[in-house]
Amino acid sequence: MNQSIVACGKKIDIGRRVVLWSEKGGFRCPNPRGRAACRQHDPVLNDRPTRPFADYRFRDAGQAHAELAQTVHQLILHYDACYSSHHCHQVLKASDFKGSHFYLDLDGTLYQTCDLYWKTNTAPADDRLGNERSVHVEMANLGWEARLNESTLYPIDRDQYQLQNGQWVLHLPEKYRGRLPAPGFTPVPARAHRLRGYFSRRVNGKIVRMWDFTEEQYQTLIALARGIGHLLPGIAARVPYDPETRRTPLDRIENFASFHGILGHAHVQQGSPGGPDAKYDPGSAFNWSRLRVALGQHPGAPEKSKA
C-alpha cells in the first residue's frame, strides 16, 4: 500500500495512505501543464489544449528534479467546495484547464494526481504567476456553501451539517458516501462551535461561515506538510505568522509571491477588478495554529474562541 508522494520519480514516505494516479482507484490530473521555468519537457505542453496524459513526459529525472526544486517554493491549501475528493475530481474534469496535484478526502486519504514536476492550475494568485511556483492540495470541504441559505453551487433542501446525538455530521448524498475509501466513514468536523457548529470570520473582505475539516484530514495534511520539504526544499516548514497578533493572518499577505512555505489560497489572492477572483480558502474554520505548532513554528496566542 503506497504511502509516498512523488516528484520526478523521487519518493518520500509520509506515513499516510497516498493513492497515486497510476494505481487502481487513483485519479489522473485532468489538465496538467508544463512549468515555464523547467526545461525537461516539450514546451508545447505548457499551453492549451490539454493533451493525452501519457504525453506529459520529462527527459532527465535528476535534472528535472533540480529544476523543479529551484522553481517551486509554495504548498497552497484549498477547500474544494465539494462533498468529497471523488466529487472534486468530477468538477475539475469538467474544466479544460483546472487541476490539483493532491486531493485530501474526508477520511484522510490523500490522492496524488500527477508527478509534481507538472503545473496544475488552481490558484493564479494576484500576480498570475502563482501556479508556476506552487504545489496544490484540494481538501474536501463544502466551504461557505455548506449552509442552505448561502448555497448556490448544488441543489440542496437543508443545511448540509446536522446535529446528531450532540455531534455535527456532514450529510453526504448517497452517490458520494459510497465513493469514500473508508466505507461507512462518518464525516465530523474536528472542532465545532458549541451552539451553531460552524466558524465565522472575515477572509479577504467576506464573512466566511464554514464547518471545520475532519480530524483525519488534519493528520494527513500535517504529514504532507512535514514531508513535502524533503522532496522540494524550497517549501519551508512554515506558514504565515503575524508577531503582533500572534496568529496566522487570514487575508492576502504582502509578500505572497516570495514567501517560502505553506499558504492558503486566500493568502495569495485577494482579487481585483479585471484580475483574478477574490479567494477565501481554506477558510475561516481552518486550524492554522494546529498546523503551525505541528511544524515546530510559533505556538502563538491561545485559541480563545472556537469561532
* Least Å from the CB of residue 103 to Zn ion: 12
- Cell reading at 211: 464547518
The helix (H) or strand (E) run that includes residue 35 is none
Q: Determine the 3-state secondary structure of 151 from DSSP.
A: coil
The reply on whether position 177 binds Zn ion by CB under 5 A is no
Q: How far is the CB of 27 from Zn ion (least distance, A)?
A: 17
Report strand pairing: 10-13 vs 4-7. Answer: antiparallel
- Work out how close the CB of 279 gets to Zn ion at its nearest, in angstroms, rounded to a whole number: 5
Residue 108 or 282 with smaller CB distance to Zn ion: 282
Q: How far is the CB of 274 from Zn ion (least distance, A)?
A: 20
From 192, 281, 283, 295, residue interacting with Zn ion (rule: CB under 5 A): 281
Find where cell 468529497 sits.
84
Q: Which is nearer to Zn ion, 81 or 170 (CB)?
A: 81
Does 265 participate in binding Zn ion (rule CB under 5 A)?
yes
Contact flags string 218-257 toward Zn ion, x per CB under 5 A: ----------------------------------------
Which residue, 89 or 265, is less far from Zn ion as judged by CB?
265
**Grid coordinates 492540495 are at which residue?**
137
Nearer Cβ to Zn ion (34/264): 264
Single out the segment in contact with Zn ion by CB under 5 A; choices: 72-80, 145-153, 178-186, 205-213: 72-80
Is the Cβ of residue 58 or residue 283 nearer to Zn ion in the bound state?
283
101 interacts with Zn ion by CB under 5 A: no
| Nearest residue (CB) to Zn ion, 78 versus 89 | 78
Which residue in the set 41, 65, 78, 133 belongs to the binding site for Zn ion (CB under 5 A)?
Answer: 78
- Count how many residues are written for the chain: 307
The three three-digit cell numbers of residue 178, written as one number: 459510497
In terms of Cα–Cα distance, which of 142, 131, 146, 137 is closest to 269?
131
Judged by the rule CB under 5 A, the positions of this chain that interact with Zn ion are 78, 265, 281
